[in-house]
Amino acid sequence: MTQRKDIYCIIMAGGIGSRFWPLSRTSKPKQFIDILGTGKSLLQQTFERMVNICPKENILIVTSSAYDKLVHEQIPGLNENQVLLEPLRRNTAPCIAYATYKIKKQNPEAVVIVAPSDHLILNEQIFNETIIQAANFASNSDALITLGITPSRPETGYGYIQIGKPVKETPSLFKVKTFTEKPNLELAKKFMESGEFFWNSGLFVWSISSITKAFEKYLPEVNSLFEELLPIYNTEKEEEAISNTYAECRNISVDYGIMEKADNVYVFCAEFGWSDLGTWGSLYTHLPHDSNGNAAVAKDLMLYETKNSIFNIPQSKLAVVQGLEDYIVVDTEDVLLICRKQDEQNIKNYVNEILINKKNFA
């Protein structure tokens, strides 16, 4: 696929991935980990995916200032202006506003892809084709586009998008009717049956002009903070200015702040083997299973009378397990987690307690 020089990409890589504890730690969260056992971290996979669509120099990575070194280690050759360091966590709207105005200073005619750094995409050819089609529409329209994924199960861990009227000239593109947060199982089943609801992937495509207009209209206080820094971006004054800006900036997501309010929101519906890999359970569905339904990232694992469980064991360690069913077992150098799959939402709570009582293990 030929790269498009007018396309830029914002990769959001600032999360701490607490639901993947203990493999994901505050010092090295899941986007920097080879969680699938492929030899590459999720961030490296995301970056390589985007290099197929736009030039390497057009990719910006927004991350916490604590992860600056990790980003440069994993993706050598980036210049300083491609790694945007957030001094504080302020959710996705400030992150996107910061990167948007950096791109606007360089190319106000750009089309932008916004991608989380920790998602799984199995069919990269279809993904690339979908992104290019979305970019073509965004180039010629005042449109905010999100990618919707055809649901394969009544998933309660994802947000949903209800489609409205189709766009005649572009197959698979629809006006968005409603956004719905994570539903209960009964509602998720109804969403699937209706055929009108798609998973909200958190992937966005839009032009610089469309997203800056949206920020001006729906989040003017966030917009003004980053717009007034236009003369300062890519200068030695940027770091201090951003530090001051983030201290003033509110914590808000782009979904809540803009996408759920705007009237020019579209959804491109596709199926390219997507998962946000938010939990051990979501990883379980994407790993190969043995005849007893067990999935593992491990070199030496001996299982007896064990079913439907997921294991992540260091390559240097032999694990022998007997009598487990529907469990998560994650072993690291200093922590062992054993948790029922049905209770994995509690992992985040465990991490919060660990942060208070045993900070070294968080």
Residue 1's pLDDT is what? 60
pLDDT at 16: 86
| Residue 313: predicted pLDDT | 95
Q: In terms of DSSP bridges, do strands 144-149 and 120-121 run parallel, antiparallel, or are they unpaired?
A: unpaired
pLDDT for 36 equals: 85
Give the domain ranges of the chain.
4-275, 280-361
Degrees (nearest 5) of the Cα angle 252, 258, 261? Answer: 120
Fold classification of 4-275 is Spore Coat Polysaccharide Biosynthesis Protein SpsA; Chain A (3.90.550)
Spatial separation of the C-alpha atoms in residues 312 and 45, rounded to whole Å: 20
Give the closest residue to 286 by CA, choosing from 150, 156, 121: 121
CB 330 within 8 A of CB 337: yes
The predicted structure's pLDDT at residue 63? 97
Which residues of the chain have a pLDDT value below 50? none
Burial class (CB in 10 A: 0-12, 13-18, 19+), 51: middle
pLDDT of 9: 98
Distance of CA 111 to the CA centre of its chain: 19
**Residue that the structure tokens 């985007």 belong to:** 50
The residue type at 122: L
**Quick one: CA dihedral 105, 87, 57, 258, positive or negative?**
negative
**How many CB atoms neighbour CB 221 within 10 A?**
11
By DSSP bridging, strand 59-64 and strand 7-12 are parallel
- Report pLDDT digits (tens) over 90-123: 999 999 999 999 999 999 999 999 999 999 999 9
pLDDT (tens digit per residue) in 224-274: 999 999 999 999 999 999 999 999 999 999 999 999 999 999 999 999 999
DSSP state of 270: E
Which residue's structure tokens are 């690339």? 128
Taking the model in full, what pTM does it have? 0.93
Asked if residues 143 and 134 have their Cβ atoms less than 8 Å apart, the reply is no
Q: How many other CB atoms sit within 10 Å of the CB of residue 233?
A: 20
- The DSSP element (H or E) to which 295 belongs, if any, is strand 295-297
Q: Please give the pLDDT value at position 253.
A: 95
pLDDT of residue 103: 98
